[in-house]
């Protein structure tokens, strides 16, 4: 059980919101199914944007980002990373980061399947 659990990873990609559609396309082409997206704000060392509202000038310390979470089996980790890079890269500072973390356990609620079976799309079996 423990060994099986190590075969499932969570790939977290934090990307520019305007590139989110490109990433989705790239993931689709890499046959990675099952993804969550959330809108987040963060700071990653990029230049701060200056905005002015009447007399008030501010530096925007946080930028909008889209956060992808993709739970995949070991063999899909690399394709997922490549898809995230392909879709999100512009070459400018602020393209984002990818984090890969081991998953203790994954469960498909509908069937109770766990781990690899839980993150493998139904159509693939």
Partner 1 sequence: MSALGAVLPLAQVDTGDTAWMLTSTALVLLMTIGLGLFYAGLVRAKSTLNTFMMCVSAMAIGGVTWALLGYSLAFDGEAALLGGLDHVALNGVGFEPREGGTIPALVFMAFQGTFCIITVALVSGAVVERMRFGAWMVFAALWSVLVYAVLAHWAFGGGWLAGQGLLDFAGGVPVEMGSGFAALAAALVVGQRKDYGRQALLPHNAVYVLLGAGLLWFGWFGFNGGSGLSAGNSSVLAFVNTMLTPACALLTWFALDLIRGRRVTAIGAATAIIVGCVLITPAGGFVSPGWAMALGFLGALPCYAVIVWRPRTRVDETLDVLAAHGIAGFTGILFLGLVAQIGWNGVADGLLYGDAGQFWSQALGAAVAPAYAFIATFALLKLVGAIMPLRASEHEEAVGMDVVYHGEEAYASGEGAILVQPESDHERLVAEPS
Which residues bind to partner 1, rule: CB under 8 A? 16, 18-19, 21, 41, 43, 48-53, 55-62, 90, 92
- Shorter beta-carbon distance to partner 1: residue 46 or 74: 46
- The least distance separating partner 1 from the CB of residue 31, rounded to whole angstroms, comes to 21
- Shorter beta-carbon distance to partner 1: residue 69 or 95: 95
- Shorter beta-carbon distance to partner 1: residue 86 or 116: 86
Pairwise CA distance, residues 6 & 14, whole Å: 23
- Shorter beta-carbon distance to partner 1: residue 59 or 110: 59
- The least distance separating partner 1 from the CB of residue 58, rounded to whole angstroms, comes to 4
- The least distance separating partner 1 from the CB of residue 52, rounded to whole angstroms, comes to 5
Helix (H, G, I), strand (E, B) or coil at 99: strand
- The least distance separating partner 1 from the CB of residue 28, rounded to whole angstroms, comes to 13
CB 59 within 8 A of CB 50: yes
Pairwise CA distance, residues 24 & 117, whole Å: 23
Token match 């689709």: residue? Answer: 28
For residue 89, the surrounding DSSP H or E stretch is none
18 dihedral zone (left: phi>0; alpha: psi -120 to 50; beta): alpha
């Amino acid at each position: 059980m423990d060994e099986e659990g190590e075969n499932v990873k969570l790939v977290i990609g934090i990307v520019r919101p305007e590139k989110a559609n490109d990433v989705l396309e790239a993931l689709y082409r890499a046959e990675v199914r099952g993804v969550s997206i959330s809108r987040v704000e963060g700071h990653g060392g990029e230049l701060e944007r200056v905005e002015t509202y009447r007399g008030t000038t501010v530096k925007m310390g946080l930028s909008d980002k889209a956060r992808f979470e993709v739970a995949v089996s070991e063999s899909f980790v690399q394709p997922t990373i490549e898809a995230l890079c392909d879709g999100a890269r512009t070459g400018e500072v602020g393209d984002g980061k990818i984090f890969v973390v081991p998953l203790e356990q994954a469960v498909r609620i509908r069937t109770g399947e766990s781990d690899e079976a839980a993150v493998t799309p139904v159509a693939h079996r």
